């Protein structure tokens, strides 16, 4: 992959804003910019120092396109490691396009998606997992996933892997050295130390692999299913939680046939709500498809909110309790919150009666009473939801793996390390052990980018937006 040419793209979001930044990177970035820039003090950009800002105009022949600020970053001290020029112009899309077109005519090429970051990686400015964190950061829409991406970008997780890889590499060389002396019975690699290293690596790999479950959920939002019979107030509750009129509320039972997904952020963690049709027995075909969907959604959800209407619960209590029992049997490990809605319609005695019934079924702790319509109890419900989040790892600022590609490589690396460990215990010949170690090193390298190929790079950087 040879990247010598000069690329250009808008670095700020497309559309109109107060200012926009157009970024050029490559060998010709400064001469190309100089060609279209008239400095207020008639300075030549080629002769100016790195990390300086200059006021002037972008001109196309005699025509002045815009007044701009030009920032210079000379290689290697730039984002890409190449010469970089950033032109801050006025925000109209018309001006942006005029300037970009002009730069293209002067010899720059339109950057492809993620190409600035790709160059940064290829020039050793960041490793692969950091580059991927840039993509995650661009896409993160809640504080927790932003925090993880920032940490990864600072290199927390790849540093750890790179260090272990180096130690392992060291042992690999010693063991391979032993092969050259196979006639004599020598051991350059201290087996006790080696065993200790393998255990340490196994521990780190397992922790990172486990973190993926937390990381994945935080990155994508925690799925919460809101389940209940038609008309119990699922859509109203969803609206109350989201504080908007997004879901459809109606008085006709069974209206919410399709599922609606929406996200709410509680204390920096995203929750995705899935409003589903109820699970009432029915002969209506459309609705029984809905019921099937409900079970599927419950399966996917991390938390289930099971809604009941207060007055109906008082009436049909025992039936409902057996329904709850059924769900608990079907999903024994899933956190279930029983939500009794329309509390406002319940008399004092009715409320007591329901509470007694719940406590005799040992369900009082999993139950909340709300009135979704008046938003009563909705805050408590939010707190309850947040209590199901495993935020320990976040609070301790531990490394969290969010990337499927890293996760796959970590799993494979662990498998190889376990093979090596087993080989060590069963006195496997050094040459066979060396093969497994090499394989483990390969997977470690996949994560940090010491081992790459064009296809892998293509896949990763294609997910970026252009200009990054």
Binding site for ligand GDP (CB under 6 A): 228, 230-236, 249-251, 255-256, 341-342, 344-345, 371-373
- Specify burial of residue 347 (Cβ count, 10 A radius: 0-12, 13-18, 19+): exposed
CB atoms within 10 A of CB 328: 16
Q: Which residue in this structure is represented by tokens 């080696």?
A: 194
Which position among 165, 234, 297, 406 is part of the footprint of Zn ion (CB under 5 A)? Answer: 234
| Contact partner at residue 371 from Zn ion, ligand GDP, none, CB < 5 to 8 Å by partner kind | ligand GDP
Nearer to ligand GDP, 235 or 448 (CB): 235
| Distance of alpha carbon 398 from alpha carbon 214, whole angstroms | 11
Residue 86 annotated as lining a ligand binding site: yes
Contact between 256 and Zn ion by CB under 5 A: the answer reads: yes
CB of 249 to ligand GDP, least distance (A): 4
Which two tokens mark 29? 């970035």
Q: Which is nearer to Zn ion, 235 or 367 (CB)?
A: 235
Establish whether 278 is an annotated binding residue: yes
Told to check if 419 binds Zn ion by CB under 5 A, we report no
Choose between 25 and 256: whose C-beta lies nearer to Zn ion: 256
Q: Are 222 and 273 in contact (CB under 8 A)?
A: no
Q: Between 219 and 234, name the residue whose CB sits nearer to ligand GDP.
A: 234
Per DSSP, what are the bridge partners of residue 275? 226, 260
50 is in an annotated binding site: no
**Strand ranges (E), 292-409:** 303-309, 336-341, 367-369
∠ at Cα 118 (112, 122), nearest 5°? Answer: 140
The stretch near Zn ion (CB under 5 A) out of 77-85, 142-150, 194-202, 230-238 is 230-238
CB of 231 to Zn ion, least distance (A): 8
Largest CA distance in the chain: 91
Is there a binding annotation on residue 25?
no
Hey, CA dihedral for 352, 358, 360, 366, is it positive or negative?
Answer: negative
227 binds, among Zn ion, ligand GDP, none (CB under 5 to 8 A by kind): none
The site partner of 201 among Zn ion, ligand GDP, none (C-beta below 5 to 8 Å per kind) is: none
Whole-Å CA distances, 340 to 223, 227, 241, 269, 307? 21, 12, 15, 25, 6
* Per-residue mark of binding to Zn ion, 85-124 (x: CB under 5 A): ----------------------------------------
User: Facing residues of 261 across strands?
Assistant: 274
277 known member of a binding site:
yes
In the block, which residue shows the tokens 């892997």? 161
Q: Is 452 annotated as a binding residue?
A: no
Nearer Cβ to Zn ion, position 239 or 399? 239
- Smallest Cα–Cα separation from 307: which of 346, 355, 340, 273? 340
- Nearest approach, Cβ of 335 to ligand GDP (angstroms)? 21
The answer to whether the CB of 225 falls within 8 A of the CB of 237 is no
Q: Is 235 annotated as a binding residue?
A: yes
Least distance (Å) between residue 339 CB and Zn ion: 14
C-beta atoms surrounding 240 within 10 Å? 22
Question: What backbone phi and psi angles, to 5 degrees, belong to 466?
Answer: -70, 140
User: Do the annotations mark residue 231 as ligand-binding?
Assistant: yes
User: Which sign, positive or negative, has the C-alpha torsion 385, 389, 394, 400?
Assistant: negative
Q: Measured from the CB of residue 159, what is the shortest distance to ligand GDP in angstroms?
A: 49
How many chain residues interact with Zn ion (CB under 5 A)? 3
Shortest reach from residue 310's CB to ligand GDP, in Å: 8
Three-state SS at 198:
helix
- The site partner of 230 among Zn ion, ligand GDP, none (C-beta below 5 to 8 Å per kind) is ligand GDP
Minimum gap (Å) between residue 234 Cβ and Zn ion: 5
CA 144, chain centre distance (Å) = 9
Residue 275 C-beta: closest distance to Zn ion, Å: 6
CB-based contacts of 160, cutoff 8 Å, min separation 6: 204, 399
Is 408 marked as binding a ligand?
no
Question: Can you say which residues are annotated as belonging to the binding site for K(+)?
Answer: 231, 250, 252, 255
User: Which residues define the annotated binding site for (6S)-5-formyl-5,6,7,8-tetrahydrofolate?
Assistant: 23, 86, 125, 468
Given the rule CB under 5 A, which residues bind Zn ion? 234-235, 256
Binding-site residue numbers for GTP are 231-236, 250-256, 275-278
């Amino acid at each position: 992959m040879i990247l010598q040419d000069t690329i250009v793209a808008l670095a700020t979001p497309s559309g109109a804003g107060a200012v926009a930044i157009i970024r050029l990177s490559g060998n010709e970035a400064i001469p190309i910019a100089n060609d279209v820039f008239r400095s207020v003090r008639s300075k030549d950009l080629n002769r100016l120092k790195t990390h300086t800002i200059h006021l002037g105009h972008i001109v196309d022949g005699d025509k002045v396109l815009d007044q701009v600020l030009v920032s210079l970053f000379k290689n290697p001290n730039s984002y890409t490691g190449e010469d970089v020029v950033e032109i801050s112009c006025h925000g109209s899309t018309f001006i942006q396009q005029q300037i970009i077109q002009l730069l293209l005519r002067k010899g720059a090429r339109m950057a492809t998606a993620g190409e600035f970051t790709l160059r940064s990686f290829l020039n050793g400015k960041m490793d692969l997992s950091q580059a991927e964190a840039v993509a995650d950061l661009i896409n993160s829409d809640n504080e927790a996933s932003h925090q993880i991406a920032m940490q990864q970008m600072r290199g927390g997780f790849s540093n750890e892997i790179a260090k272990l890889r180096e130690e392992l590499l060291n042992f690999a060389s010693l063991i391979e050295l032993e092969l050259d002396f196979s006639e004599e019975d020598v051991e350059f690699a201290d087996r006790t130390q080696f065993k200790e290293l393998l255990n340490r690596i196994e521990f780190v790999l397992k922790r990172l692999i486990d973190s993926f479950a937390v990381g994945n959920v935080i990155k994508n939002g925690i799925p919460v299913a809101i389940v209940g019979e038609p008309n119990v107030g699922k859509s109203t509750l969803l609206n109350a939680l989201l504080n908007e009129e997004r879901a459809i509320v109606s008085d006709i039972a069974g209206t919410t046939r399709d599922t609606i997904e929406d996200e709410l952020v509680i204390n920096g963690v995203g929750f995705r709500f899935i409003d589903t049709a109820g699970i009432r027995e029915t002969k209506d075909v459309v609705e029984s498809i809905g019921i099937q969907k409900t079970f599927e959604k419950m399966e996917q959800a991390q938390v289930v909110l099971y809604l009941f209407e207060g007055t109906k619960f008082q009436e049909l209590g025992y039936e409902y309790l057996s329904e709850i029992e059924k769900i608990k049997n079907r999903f024994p490990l899933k956190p279930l919150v029983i939500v009794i809605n329309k509390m406002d319609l319940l008399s004092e005695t009715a409320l007591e009666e329901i509470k007694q019934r719940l406590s005799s079924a040992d369900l009082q702790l999993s139950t909340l009473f709300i009135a979704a319509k008046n938003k009563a109890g909705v805050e408590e419900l939010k707190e309850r939801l947040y209590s199901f989040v495993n935020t320990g790892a976040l609070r301790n600022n531990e490394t969290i793996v969010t990337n499927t590609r890293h996760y796959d490589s970590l799993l494979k690396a662990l498998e190889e390390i376990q093979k090596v460990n087993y080989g060590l215990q069963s006195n496997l010949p050094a040459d066979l052990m060396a093969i497994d170690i090499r394989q483990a090193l390969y997977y470690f390298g996949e994560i940090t980018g010491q081992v790459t190929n064009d296809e892998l790079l293509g896949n990763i950087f294609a997910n970026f937006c252009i200009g990054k």
